[in-house]
Amino acid sequence: MTASCSRATLALAALVAAACASTRPPASAPPVPPAPAAVAAPAPAASNGHLRAGIVSVRVTGQDWNWRAPWEKQAPWTRTVTGLVVPGRKILLASTAFGNHLLVEAQKLGSEARTVGRVELVDQEGPLALVAVDDPAFWEGLEPLPLADRAPGEGDVTILRWQRSGLLDAFPGTLRQVRSGRHGLSQTSLLTLEIGTSTDGLGESEVVIAKGRVAGLVTGRTGDAYGALAAPVLAQFLEGAARGDWRSFARAGLAWQDLTNPALRESLGLRPGETGIRLTRVARHGSAGGVLKPGDLVLEMGGAKLDPTGYYEHPLYGRMLFALLFSDGRRPGETMPVKVLRDGERLDLQLPLRAMRPEQDRVPPYVFGRGPDYVVVGGLVFEELTRPYLGAWGDWARRAPPRILVAIDREPEDAGEEPKRIVLLSSVLPDAVNLGYQELRDLIVERVNGRAVGSLADLRQAFAAPQGGFHVVDFVAGQGAARAVLDAAEAQAAAARLQQAYGVERLDSAAP
Amino acid sequence: MKRAVAVLALGLVSPLAAQVPAPGNGVAASVVHVQVFRSAFDWSQPWRQEGVTGASGSGFFIAGGRIVTNAHVIADARQILVRRPDQANPYVAALEAVGNDCDLAVLRVADPEFAKGLRPLAFGSLPRSGTRVNTFGFPLGGQDVSSTAGIVSRVESRGYVHSGADAHLVVQTDAAINPGNSGGPVIQDGRVVGVAFQGFPGADNMGFFIPVPIVRHFLKNLEDGRYDGFPDSGLDTTPLLSPAYRRERGLPGGRSGVVVDRVAPGGTADGVLKPGDVLLSIERQAIANDGTIRLGDARVTFEHAMDMLQVGATVRFTAWRDGKELVLQASARRIARYDRNRNQYGVAPDYVVYAGLVFMRLETELLKTLGRGWPQSASRDLVWHQLFREAEQPAEADREVIVLTRVLRHAVNSQMALSLPVAVEKINDRPVRSLADVVEAFASNRERFHRLEFERDGGIEALDRAKAETAHPEILKQYAIPHDRKL
């Protein structure tokens, strides 16, 4: 169990990374000349000039919704992201700044001018974004940098970043290891460079150069090192984008336990020398959904033998976690062979590789490009639980109400084709209609007017059918408050009053 | 939590803490200093006790040659010494009874010399807000009995931090109540109206005492030589502050009460009240829409009326159900399983060790070993069992949960990959619902492996039975565990 992919933990890391990125002060470190290694590589390695020609700055202005007052937006933000010039007059960026963006402006070295760009493709599972700039003048003097065709071995790298002053900063770093990792808000394991550097405040797509080629893009800090998406991941995204059929990276959707205990392996019927892992959860919409089952012992994946902790021997990079097999060199739509021991039988199965959409998680890991779904009835504000909602608690895994944490981690994630959502009474807009309930907040709703509620759509239907002139909202037991009752006619009459008193333009996000 | 009470206030002498002449002469002479040497049990290594620490508090002499003090003063005591303010030598005292749920204890000194010339204090009644009271005790910073004067600020129901799971009537006063005051009497008109017991760390001029109705309940209950605690209504209720909810329940204008949301199995109201009932009165006292009843000048939760009954007494409710008022009677009952929500004192924890695997029962005291933030930091399975299961699965309310708390590393078990503590579901295919089940499941197995199944994502594990049998005594010896179980 130690190695199971705990969603809570990983999401936490992701949120921390995002928070760091948006609150970072402007860079103040003096520019450091590029390390000699960066320019002394053999042809067709980029020269110093090439480096300058291949890196731009992208200023992103955006605005997030206020998940605690879902009819509102928060204050707008601006983030400056380092961009990599790629073929086809596009800019590649590894950043979570895209999704709730309003304006994207590109700037190149030696020019104060900002040119408006278009976001062509965003995939938070990278996180990766492709920005097009239509003005041909912008591209004068710019040239794509060569991507490394594989992750480099250990050694020195140079990290390049744009400064506000319009200068290119270069920092020395050390590639500590190549491993499988997650970036930003992504739930997918991708090929990752772990880079040590004494520089602070990285994580907005700074470009990692090794042997004169682009080795990766920095996405954030993990522990005392930075993580970067490795060049093969970037290449995979660019190829898909060029084909016009990008469907994200394939994802395993598994939780497992290690089989390090020899007595356990033997009791499960593994032969001497035979190793693997035991599955404890299989996500319905992941690549293993419908094929693998909890309790399966996975012995091989993609032709590679798994060790008792789920690692395999990568032909280029050594020991890697099996989750990487789903994304490394493979695409959704392909299949991957897997060998399992199930009920004493050794089975050869094929996994249809699939990407997972955020809506396929019971608690969507991110929501971009739209505001929260909400319904306000009689001043009671209802929302579906999402990670951005949890984000309002900051370190939510330690601060959110225990019953909500239990619902997230313990209850079946996706029992049906459409995952059941956790619907919350988020807060109450005090009014005569809801006297006695003003202080209710963050309560999981079980039923409304006698109907079970597994989504806001259910809730809307249930509110359409009051019981004897009353709306009866029942909460999941053990949260303190058990039930709230509203007079249905009063609730309707209060609508305009509430809209005016609290500045709510629409009481239902689905209303026209 | 155990120490929260002692953290009371750090400012030693507040302006109010000046010595004042004791109204009701001679009260001070009946106040005793209580010195304790304690050794608590270690819930993370249940076979051992923690080192000896000292503590001190106050107490007072009452009729029958007894001394009243706080339960938290004598918690985990191995030796209790009491000293009269007019004498130098302490006397050894025995613990006669303790009520951890109301933070009270009774001590007795065997030596007849101790009580000579000592005047027992008499009890008064619940003091009213705004009246003056004096506290007596041995707060930090001196040897002599100290008295402070203050005013009764308010009377209300509040959590008792010593048990961590009980709420009873308390009186708030601005008389200084500092560490060491615990267990000392609060006096009005020469009579005891309460026992000083807790404060708010950081809040000035806010001390709390246990008022006389709670003290009397405790002493009355001891008359048969056994302490039974307070009865539990077993009710979860919602206030009826919403006019819409009152109409929905069909409650006539002018009537008030609270809606019953849940009736705990085994509680007083089990089989008598139902979810959806509006509880109108308890013991002939009308319940307001905010759930309070009248108590003198104050309003306190209706649960106080339950507190005034002894276990086994008959309680009278009236309730509004289906458009009618019903008069209902029930026998006051205590819910024993709620002890697992209380802080534990003076009781060695139960456990079983087998081949280095340590099994214990899930209870608050065990979860506290994970730190104060356990409701967020413990595994969600354990949190669900401890905090939410009863409400969701009342039929299994009394079910015990057995937890694998730690693995004492030895070659036989060191390669297990476990995230601890974890709830045990089955051992050798037997459902595990008690520590006795753990013993039985291992002892009766004849297969080559012992197989353990944990709840939900906890996975499974196995032990080679022959190797485990050999390793078991070795591990006990290596880790200095005198007994492999305490049941």
Residues from chain A contacting residue B453 (CB–CB below 8 Å): none
Instruction: Kindly report the pTM of this predicted structure.
Output: 0.89
B181 pLDDT exceeds 90? Answer: yes
Residue A153, pLDDT score: 82
Position A503 confidence tier, pLDDT thresholds 50, 70, 90: very high
Residues of chain A with pLDDT > 90, as a percent, come to 80
Q: Which secondary structure element, helix H or strand E, spans residue A8, and what is its range? A: helix A7-23
End-to-end CA gap in chain B: 25
Indicate the residue of A1, A278, A409 with minimum beta-carbon distance to B419: A1
Cβ pairs bridging A and B (under 8 Å): 132
Chain A residue whose CA is closest to B289: A436
Tell me if B176 sits within 8 A of B182, measured CB to CB.
no
Quick check: is A16 in a domain? no
Q: What is the DSSP string of B167-208?
A: EEEEEEESS---TT-TT-EEEETTEEEEEEEEE-TT-TT-EE
Mean pLDDT of chain A: 88
Same domain, A99 and A132: yes
Whole-Å CA distances, A67 to A370, A374, B348: 11, 10, 48
Of the candidates A243, A266, A281, which is a domain's last residue? A243
**B154-171 pLDDT tens trace:** 999 999 999 999 999 999
Q: Which residues contact A243 (CB under 8 A, 6 or more apart)?
A: none
* B459/A3 CB distance under 8 A: no
Q: At A278, give phi and psi (nearest 5°).
A: -115, 125
Between A22 and B74, the more confident residue is B74
B179 pLDDT exceeds 60? Answer: yes
Quick check: is A12 in a domain? no
Residues 442-461 (A) with a CB less than 8 A from some CB of B: none
Residues from chain B contacting residue A405 (CB–CB below 8 Å): 376, 380, 383
Residue A165, pLDDT score: 65
Same domain, A29 and A157: yes
Residues from chain B contacting residue A258 (CB–CB below 8 Å): 417
Question: For chain A, give me the number of helices (H) and strands (E)?
Answer: 10, 28
Residues of chain B with pLDDT > 70, as a percent, come to 95
Same domain, A421 and A310: no
Quick check: is A270 in a domain? yes
**A131-146 pLDDT tens trace:** 999 999 999 999 999 9
Least confident of A352-361, A459-468, A493-502, B307-316: A352-361
Same domain, A208 and A89: yes
Average pLDDT, stretch B298-318? Answer: 97
Least confident of B1-15, B310-324, B419-433: B1-15
A295 pLDDT exceeds 50? Answer: yes
A16 pLDDT exceeds 90? Answer: no
Same domain, A32 and A148: yes
Residues from chain B contacting residue A484 (CB–CB below 8 Å): 242, 245
Per-residue tokens: A82: 């380092």
- The distance of Cα A259 from the centroid of its chain, to the nearest Å, equals 29
Q: What is the Cβ-side half-sphere exposure of residue B403, based on CA atoms within 13 angstroms?
A: 24
Per-residue tokens: A401: 């109400």
**CB of A12 within 8 Å of any CB in chain B?**
no
Average pLDDT, stretch B385-392? Answer: 95
A24 pLDDT exceeds 60? Answer: no
CATH number of the structural domain spanning residue A467:
3.20.190.20
* A268/B373 CB distance under 8 A: no
Distance CA B304, CA A408 (A): 37
Assigned CATH for B15-224: 2.40.10.120
A416 pLDDT exceeds 60? Answer: yes
Strand partners, B63: none
* A436/B239 CB distance under 8 A: yes
Indicate the residue of B247, B383, B459 with minimum beta-carbon distance to A280: B459
DSSP B219: H
Distance CA B295, CA B285 (A): 10
Q: Chain A: nearest CA to B258, how far in angstroms?
A: 12
**CB of A23 within 8 Å of any CB in chain B?**
no
B11 pLDDT exceeds 50? Answer: no
Average pLDDT, stretch B463-487? Answer: 97
Chain A residue whose CA is closest to B415: A261
Quick check: is A312 in a domain? yes
A2 pLDDT exceeds 60? Answer: no
E-strand stretches of B322-401:
324-331, 351-354, 357-361
Mean pLDDT of chain B: 92
B235-331 topology per CATH: Pdz3 Domain (2.30.42)
B350-486 topology per CATH: N-terminal domain of MutM-like DNA repair proteins (3.20.190)
ipTM, two decimals: 0.90
Q: Chain A: nearest CA to B66, how far in angstroms?
A: 41
Residues from chain A contacting residue B260 (CB–CB below 8 Å): none
Domain count along chain A:
3
Q: Which secondary structure element, helix H or strand E, spans residue A348, and what is its range? A: strand A345-352
**CB of B419 within 8 Å of any CB in chain A?**
yes
Average pLDDT, stretch B190-199? Answer: 94
Per-residue tokens: A491: 């609730």
Average pLDDT, stretch B63-72? Answer: 96
One-letter amino acid for residue B74 of the chain = I
The catalytic residue positions of B are 72, 103, 182
Q: Chain B: nearest CA to A477, how far in angstroms?
A: 6
Domain boundaries of chain B, sorted by first residue: 15-224, 235-331, 350-486
**A323-351 pLDDT tens trace:** 999 999 999 999 999 999 999 999 999 99
Residue A166, pLDDT score: 67
Residues from chain B contacting residue A255 (CB–CB below 8 Å): 457
Indicate the residue of B236, B415, B464 with minimum beta-carbon distance to A482: B236
Tell me if B432 sits within 8 A of B426, measured CB to CB.
yes
* A263/B467 CB distance under 8 A: yes
Give the torsion through C-alpha atoms of A470, A473, A474, A478, to 10 deg: -130
* B467/A259 CB distance under 8 A: no
B461 pLDDT exceeds 50? Answer: yes
Q: Chain A: nearest CA to B316, how far in angstroms?
A: 25
Q: What residue numbers bound the domain in which A275 lies?
A: 254-325+333-352
Distance CA B98, CA B221 (A): 11
Quick check: is A129 in a domain? yes
Average pLDDT, stretch B257-280? Answer: 97
**CB of A266 within 8 Å of any CB in chain B?**
yes
Average pLDDT, stretch B82-100? Answer: 94
Strand partners, B282: B285, B317
Position A168 confidence tier, pLDDT thresholds 50, 70, 90: confident
Q: Which of A329, A420, A397, A330 is nearest to A12 (CA)?
A: A397
Between A15 and B449, the more confident residue is B449
Position A415 confidence tier, pLDDT thresholds 50, 70, 90: low
* A398/B448 CB distance under 8 A: no
Quick check: is A5 in a domain? no
Residue A267, pLDDT score: 96
Residue B176, pLDDT score: 86
Same domain, A404 and A305: no
Q: Which residues contact A362 (CB under 8 A, 6 or more apart)?
A: A408, A411, A413, A414, A419, A420, A421, A422
A49 pLDDT exceeds 80? Answer: no
Chain B residue whose CA is closest to A258: B417
Least confident of A500-509, B4-13, B97-106, B191-200: B4-13
**B205-241 pLDDT tens trace:** 789 999 999 999 999 999 999 999 999 999 999 999 9
Residues from chain A contacting residue B242 (CB–CB below 8 Å): 434-437, 484-486
* A263/B422 CB distance under 8 A: no
A38 pLDDT exceeds 60? Answer: no
* A490/B419 CB distance under 8 A: no
Same domain, A313 and A434: no
Residue B265, pLDDT score: 97
Position A164 confidence tier, pLDDT thresholds 50, 70, 90: low
Average pLDDT, stretch B86-90? Answer: 90
Residue A193, pLDDT score: 97
**CB of A495 within 8 Å of any CB in chain B?**
no
Per-residue tokens: B406: 């730690």
Quick check: is A512 in a domain? no
Can you tell me whether residue B365 is helix, strand or coil? helix
Average pLDDT, stretch A258-287? Answer: 95
**CB of B387 within 8 Å of any CB in chain A?**
yes
Same domain, A170 and A262: no
Residue A417, pLDDT score: 67
Average pLDDT, stretch B423-445? Answer: 97
Quick check: is A380 in a domain? yes
Tell me if A119 sits within 8 A of A98, measured CB to CB.
yes
Residue B13, pLDDT score: 27
Residue A411, pLDDT score: 74
Average pLDDT, stretch A296-315? Answer: 97
Q: Which of B82, B98, B3, B102 is nearest to B36 (CA)?
A: B82
Residues from chain B contacting residue A263 (CB–CB below 8 Å): 412, 449, 462-464, 467
Residue A37, pLDDT score: 35
- The distance of Cα B47 from the centroid of its chain, to the nearest Å, equals 23
